[in-house]
Structure 1
Amino acid sequence: MKNPVQYTIVPKDPVAHLFEVTLAVPAPDPEGQVFTLPAWIPGSYMIREFARNIVRIRAESAGSAVPLKKLDKHTWQAAPCGKNLVLRYEVYAWDLSVRAAHLDQTHGFFNGTSVFLAVQGQEDLPHVVDIRRPDGDQFKAWRVATALPELKAKRYGFGTYIASDYDELIDSPVEMGMFELATFKAHGVPHDVVITGRVPNLDMPRLVADLKKVCEAQIALFEPKSKRAPMGRYVFMTLAVGDGYGGLEHRASTALICSRNDLPVKGQKEMSDGYRTYLGLCSHEYFHTWNVKRIKPDVFAPYDLRSEGYTTLLWLFEGFTSYYDDLMLARSGLIDEAAYFKLVAKTINGVLRGSGRTKQSVAESSFDAWTKYYRQDENSPNAIVSYYAKGSLVGLALDLTIRAETRGRKSLDDVMRMLWQRYGREFYAGAGKGVAEAEVEALFDEVTGLKLKRFFERYVRGTEDLPLAKLLAPFGVEWEDKRKNAKPGLGVRTAKEGNDCKIANVYEGGPAHLAGVSAGDILVAVNGLRVTAANLDGLLSRYRVGDELVLHVFRRDELMAFSAALAADDLPQVTLTPQAKPAAAARLRNALLEPQAV
C-alpha cells in the first residue's frame, strides 16, 4: 500500500465529549497541503457546518510546528514542509443523532464527515484509521461496530481499519461501547445487528429473523436471478433511547435511533405499532443501499460536500424508498394487507392535510430541500409538501398505473431494476454514473412501453392531488373519507409547553387564521375558561360548528383577545379497505403485495 492517508481517533475525554484525531500525511502537497471538513452529510440535505465542532487544531512535521492558515469556515492550509505532515485536532461530539458524532461514558459514535478532515488531492488514496479505546477500566468491555474492513483488528475490536478512499471512509459510521450483537445471513451475505442502550428483555432472535426476511426480499427485488447483494457485509447500528426516531443510510451500513419501547420484547408475539415503525425504518434505510447510495442523481456522482447539491429528483430517491419500505414489510409477510393499506392511508391523510401541497410540487420540494424541507418552521404545512410522503404516493400511483395499463406485464419493480442495471450495479466499480434529470421520464417510458409525460406534468412537476381512489378501485381497495362527521375545531395544531397550550401551526383558512391567532401564541382561555395542555379538545367539544368563541392568548408577554367562529375540523380521514371480492380484484391486489415474477 503506497502512502495511505492515516488517521488515529481516540475518545480522549468522554466526560467532556471530546474525540482526538491525528492525521498523518506521508507526502503532503509541496505548495502547502489543504485540508477540508464536509459541510453536510449525504442523506441529510442541510448545511451543518461540522467544522464548528473542531475545538483546536495544530500541525507539525519532524517534531517542529507547522503554521496553519484557515482559508474559510471548513478549510485549512498548512505551510509548505517536508514529508510526514501530522495534524492533531479535537472534535466536540455531543449531537445525539444519526448525523454527526456523540461521545460520553456510555458509548461513542461518529460519522466520518464530522471527524475526518479530507486531504485535498489525495481523496482517492487508501485511507487507514486506527480506532482506539478510551483510557480507563470502565471501558475495557467496549467493542467497535463498523462496516469498514479490518486491517489490523479483530472484527468488533479496536485497532486498524481500512477504506479504499475518502468517500468510503466517511460513508462508514462507527459505534463503540457495550452493545448487543447478532449476525444473520441474507442470501449468503453477513448482516450484523448492533443495539446500543438499555433494552430490557430484547427479543433479538425475533428481530434478526424479521430483518432477514426484509433484506432477502429487497435483494431479490433488484437481483431476482442471482440474489446477489451489492455489499460483502452489512451493519445495522441502532441506538435505543427513551424517545427518539431517525435513520441515515450508508453504502454498507445504517445508523438508526429509536425508542427502546419500539424494539421487540421476549414473549410478546404481537406486532406493536412501535415495532412496525422500527422495521419500516430499517427497511427504508436498507432500500437506500440501492436507491441513492448506488443509483444516484448525477449531482451526487460524486458528492460535493462543501456546498449544496441541488436536484429535483428526491421524490424518486427518497419518495420511492418511502413507498417500498412498508411495501417490503408486506411482501416479507411481516404485516398483512389490511395493516399495509392502513399505513398507506396514514400517508395519504398526512399529505392531504397540508395546503402546501397545492403550492409546491414534489420536484420543487426536492430542489428546495436545503432551504425549506430541512428548515421547517411554523408555516411549513401551509407552504411545502414532503417529497418523502407525497413522493411515496407518486410511487404507489405510478406502480398502480403501470400495472393496470400493461395488464400486469410491467410494474414499478421493472423500472427500479432497470435503474439498478444501468446506473447502480457497477457504481463503486468505477463504471457507474449518476441519473440525469432529463433521463428519468424517458426511462419510465422505455421500460413500461407507456407514455407517462402527462402523469409527470400533473403530479411530479405539478401540484394536482394523485387520483389514488380511482387507481386503487380496480385492485379491490375501497377508499372512504370519513370527515363528514367532523368535530368543531379551530384549525390549529397545538403543542405542550410545560402546562401551557402552545399554538404550533395555524392552518391557512381555518378559524384561528381568520381570527388573527398566530403560531407561537399561548392559548390561555376559551370563553373565559382556562386552557391547559390537556383540556382544549374537551372544552371545544362543548360547542357546535358556527359558535363564536372568545380566545385569550399571550403573544410574547402581551395578552390578546380574538373572536373565532368554530368550523368543522375538515381534515381528511381516508381509510383504505381491501375487499374480499371480486376474485379478479383480489388477484390484482395480491400482485402488488407479492414479489413480481421475472
Structure 2
Amino acid sequence: MTLSAPVHYTLRPASPQAHLFDVTVTVTHPAKNGQVFFLPTWIPGSYMIREFSKHIVSLAAEAGGKAVPLRQLAKNRWQAAPAKGELTLRYQVYAFDLSVRGAYLDGERGFFNGTSVFLAAEGYENESCTVDIQAPDGKFHANWKVATSLPAVDVKKKSGFGLYRAADYDELIDHPVELGDFHKVSFKACGVPHEFVVSGRFQADLKRLADDCKKICEYQIRLFGEPAPFDRYVFMLFVGKDVYGGLEHRASTALVANRDDLPAPGAAEIGDGYLKLLGLISHEYFHSWNVKRMKPAAFAPYDLNREGMTRLLWAFEGITSYYDDLTLVRCGLIDEKRYLGLLAETITGVQRGAGRLKQTLEQSSFEAWTKYYRQDENSPNSIVSYYTKGSLAALALDLVIRRDSKGKQSLDDVMRALWSKWLADGKGLEEDEWEKIAIETTGLKLKPFFDLALRSTEDLPLAELLASQGVELKFEAAQGASDRGGVVDAFAGKPAPLTLGARTAADAAGVRLVQVLDGGAAQQAGLSGGDVVVAVDKLRAYDLDKQLARLQAGDTIKLHAFRRDELMTFELVAQAASDDTCRLKLAAGGGKWIAGR
C-alpha cells in the first residue's frame, strides 16, 4: 500500500484466537532528534484514566530494513533513536475488552477504538494520516466486513477492507471500527444516510429498529436545525447477555446491550428492554451536538495524557440524559404517561442516594475522574450522578424557563443558541459561559436557580415545578425491592414495609450486601458493604425482604454474616422504609411541556 500521508497505519486481526491485532505506524519524516510516540491514557466520553498502553504486548522500530532502538519515556510514551528515512513501529495489541471503550477480537468479531490501537506520532497530531484496515487470514473469516464512519479512500466495495483517511489524529481516534460478519440495515434521516450494524447472536426485527431510530434521529436533527453535522452516521451495536453501554463519536456510536432488548419479530409493543435500548440510542445520538461539537473548553482540544477537569459535565451528560427519553415522546414512540414513568424512576434513584446531600452537581462533574467512574460500596452515600441529577436539573431549568417566560421560551431555545454559537466560532465553552448564554438567550434572572441546582446540595423544587405543569409528585415508601416509582392514578398511602437499608445480591453462601445506605438498619447494626449474610435468627439467609416481612418496626433480629473469612454476629433493629419512592399523577390536560407545547 502506497503511503499517502505523513503518518500511515496498518491494522490486521493477526490472531483472533489469541485476541491480538498487528499494528504498524510509519512516519515519513521522523523527528531528527528521535521520534516520540504515545498512546492515549483515556478515551473522550468516558472520564477515567484507563491506561490503554498496558495492552501493548510487543513493540519494535525499524528504518531502512534495520532495527532502531526504542526507549520508554513514560507509561505510555516511547522514543525511537534518530533514524534516516521512513520510520516504522511494529507492535501487537491485546484486545479482549467487550465494552465500548477499548478493543476486542476473537473468532466471531473484532472491534476497536483508535485510542486503544493507534500510537500517536508526537508533533504530527495535526497532520493527516491514513490507515489500511486489513482482513484476517483464513476461511473462517471470509465473510468478515468493516463498519466505520471513517472516510474511505480505496476500499473493497463488498467488505470495506482497505485504505481510510483522517484529517488528523483527533479524527482518527473518533471513528471506532466494527469487524465481522455482522447484520446491517440502512435508512435516511433528513436525507442523511444512516447505517445500523448489529453483531452477536440474536433474532430481531431490524427493519423496525431502523424505522424507530429514524424517528429519533430526525427529531434531534430538526431540534438543532438542518443540516445534520455529519454526512453519514453509523450505529454499531453488539448484543450479548448482561451488557449495557454506549459511547458517542462525531459520526457514529458504539453500543452494547442485551440481545433480548432488540425488538422481537412480529412484536408491536415497546417492552421495557427495547425502551431502554431506544433511550440509549437517543442519548448517544444527541451527543453528536452536545459534547462532540459543543463541549467544555477543557476538551478543546483534548489532552489525552491527563485528566480534563471541568465542572460542566452536568450540562453535557445531564442535559443529554434529559433529552434522551424526552425525544422518545416527541418523536411519537411512547406516550406521555410512559415518559412520566421513566421520570419517576429517575427521581427515585436520586432521592435514595444520601450523596445528593453531600456533593453538588459541579463537584460531581469535576470529580468524575476519581469518584463517579471509580465507585465503591460507599458511593451512594457520598456522591451524586451528574447524569441522573443533571437530567433533573435540566428538567427543572426547562420548567423554570417555561414558567417565567409564560410559555414563550424553553430549554430548547438555549440549546439552539449554544449550537448557533458553536457554528459561529467552533470554540469550547468556558466554565461560566453555559450559564451566561442561558441567561442572555432567555432574558431571565436564572442565577439563583443555577446557584441552587449546581452549587448547593439542596433538593430541586421538582414538586412545585411539576405542579405548574399539571403533574403532582409525592414520595411514598417503596413496596418492595423492585419498586422504583412510577405513574399512578391515585396516591395509595400504603403502610411502609420494613427495609434492611442495603442493596443486595445473591451469593453462593447467602445474601451479599453490595452497598449499605446511610442511616439504614444495616448500617446502624454495624454491617458493611461486602458482608455476606448467611443466617437470620438461626435460619439460612435467602431473601432478606421476605425474612423481614413478618417483623414489626423496632423488633430485633440476629444476623450472622461473613466479613472476608470471619464470621460475625449483628443485632439489627427493624426499620420501616422511608418515603423515598416517587409517584407522579398526571392531571387532565397536564404535562404539555413533554410534547414540546
**When the two structures are superposed, what TM-score results if normalisation uses the length of structure 1?**
0.95
| Rounded Cα–Cα distance in structure 1 between residues aligned with 2:138 and 2:187 | 33
Residue in structure 1 matched with residue 160 of structure 2 by the alignment: 157
Measured after TM superposition, the shift of residue 124 of structure 1 is 1.3
Letter in 2 for 1:256: L
Q: CA deviation at 1:154?
A: 3.7
Equivalent AA in structure 1 for residue 85 of structure 2: K
* 1:537 positional shift: 1.6
Cα distance, 1:64 vs structure 2: 0.4
The answer to whether 1:468 aligns with 2:476 is no
Counterpart of 1:504, as a letter, is V
SS in 2 for 1:564: strand
Q: Displacement, 1:458? A: 1.1
- What's the secondary structure of 1:35's corresponding residue? strand
Cα separation, 1, equivalents of 2:508 and 2:240: 22
2:581 aligns with one of 557, 573, 581: 573
What residue identity is the alignment partner of 1:445? I
Counterparts of 1:359 and 1:8, CA distance in 2? 49
**8 Å contact from structure 1 (residues 15, 104) kept in 2:** yes
Q: 1:543 aligns with which of 541, 545, 551?
A: 551
1:555 aligns with 2:563: yes
State the 1:330 CA deviation.
0.5
Structure 1 residue 2 displacement after superposition: 6.5
1:448-467 pair list within 5 angstroms = 448-467=442-461
Aligned to 1:347: 346
Write out aligned runs for 1:53-452 (5 A): 53-154=55-156, 156-200=159-203, 202-223=204-225, 227-423=226-422, 425=423, 431-452=425-446
Asked if 1:478 is matched to 2:472, the reply is yes
Secondary structure at 1:419 match in 2: helix
CA drift at 1:571: 5.0
Moved more, 71-80 or 479-488: 479-488
Distance in 1 (CA, whole Å) between partners of 2:215 and 2:346 is 24
Q: Distance in 2 between matches of 1:192 and 1:23?
A: 29
1:388 Cα offset (Å): 0.2
Q: Which moved more, 1:294-303 or 1:557-566?
A: 557-566
Give CA deviations for 1:279-328 in whole Å, capped at 9, x if unaligned.
00000000000000000100000000000000000000000000000000
Deviation at 1:435, TM superposition (A): 0.3
| Residues paired across the two proteins, number | 578
Question: Paired residue for 1:512?
Answer: 522
Distance in structure 2 (CA, Å) of the matches to 1:117 and 1:318: 29
Q: CA deviation at 1:570?
A: 1.2
Contact 1:98 1:255 in 2 (8 A): yes
| Partner deviation per Cα, 1:338-382 (whole Å, 9 max, x = no partner) | 000100000000000000000000100000000000000000000
> Of residues 37, 40, 54 in structure 2, which corresponds to 1:38?
40
Corresponding residue SS for 2:18: coil
SS at match of 1:302: coil
1:496 and 2:524 equivalent? no
Counterpart among 25, 28, 46 of residue 26 in structure 1: 28
Q: Distance in 2 between matches of 1:214 and 1:335?
A: 11
Residue 4 of structure 1, CA deviation: 2.9
**Given that residues 3 and 27 in structure 1 are in contact (C-alpha distance below 8 angstroms), is that contact kept between their aligned partners in structure 2?**
no
Q: Give the Cα separation in 2 of the matches to 1:461 and 1:178.
A: 49
Deviates more, 1:331-340 or 1:571-580: 571-580
Residue by residue over 1:192-245, the C-alpha shift from the partner in whole angstroms, topping out at 9 and shown as x without a partner, is: 000001112x1011100100000000000001xxx2100000000000002210
Q: Is the 8 A contact 2:61 2:87 kept in 1?
A: yes
How far, CA to CA, are the matches of 1:363 and 1:370 in structure 2?
13
Q: Which secondary structure does the structure 2 equivalent of 1:482 belong to? A: strand
- Per-residue CA distance 1:81-116 (angstroms, 9 max, x = gap): 111101100000011100000000000000000000
CA distance in 2, matches of 1:414, 1:18: 48
In the TM superposition, residue 500 of structure 1 has moved relative to its aligned partner by: 2.4
What's 2:484 paired with? none
* 1:337–1:578 CA contact under 8 A, matched in 2: no
Asked if structure 2 preserves the Cα contact closer than 8 Å seen for 1:221 and 1:595, the reply is: no
The residue type paired with residue 439 of structure 2 is D
- Secondary structure of the structure 1 residue equivalent to 2:307: coil
User: Contact (CA 8 Å) 2:5, 2:130: kept in 1 or not?
Assistant: no
Equivalent AA in structure 2 for residue 283 of structure 1: S
Report the alpha carbon displacement of residue 551 of structure 1 after superposing the two structures with TM.
1.1
Question: Over aligned residue pairs, what C-alpha RMSD do you find?
Answer: 1.2
Q: 1:571 to 1:116 in 2, by over 3 A?
A: farther
Alpha-carbon distance between aligned partners in 2 of 1:20 and 1:255, rounded to the nearest angstrom: 22
TM-score scaled to structure 2, two decimals? 0.95
Question: What SS is found at the alignment partner of 2:179?
Answer: strand
Is 1:593 the counterpart of 2:587 in the alignment? no
Structure 1 runs of 4+ off > 2 angstroms?
1-4, 497-500, 593-596
* Residue identity opposite 1:35 in structure 2: F
**What SS does structure 2 have at the residue aligned with 1:229?**
coil
- Structure 1 residue 3, shift from structure 2 partner: 3.7
The answer on whether the counterparts of 2:62 and 2:68 sit within 8 Å (CA) in structure 1 is: yes
CA offset at residue 498 of structure 1?
Answer: 2.8
Cα deviation, residue 482, structure 1:
2.4
CA distance in 1, matches of 2:190, 2:525: 60
Return the alpha-carbon distance in structure 2 between the equivalents of residues 363 and 89 of structure 1: 41
Per-residue CA distance 1:46-87 (angstroms, 9 max, x = gap): 000000000000000000000111000000001111111011
2:322–2:395 Cα contact (<8 Å) kept: yes
SS of equivalent to 1:451:
coil
Following TM superposition, by how much is the alpha carbon of 1:499 offset from its aligned partner in structure 2, in angstroms? Answer: 4.9
Residues 373 and 386, structure 1, Cα contact 8 Å, conserved in 2 = yes
564, 572, 581: which one pairs with 2:572?
564
**Counterpart AA for 2:102:** A
Offset at 1:593? 2.5
Instruction: Report the more deviating stretch, 386-395 or 116-125.
Output: 116-125
| SS class of match (1:370) | coil
Structure 2 counterpart of 1:528, which letter?
K
Q: Give the equivalent residue in structure 1 for 2:490.
A: none
What is the DSSP-based 3-state SS (H/G/I as helix, E as strand, rest coil) of the residue aligned with 2:468? helix
2:475–2:579 Cα contact (<8 Å) kept: no
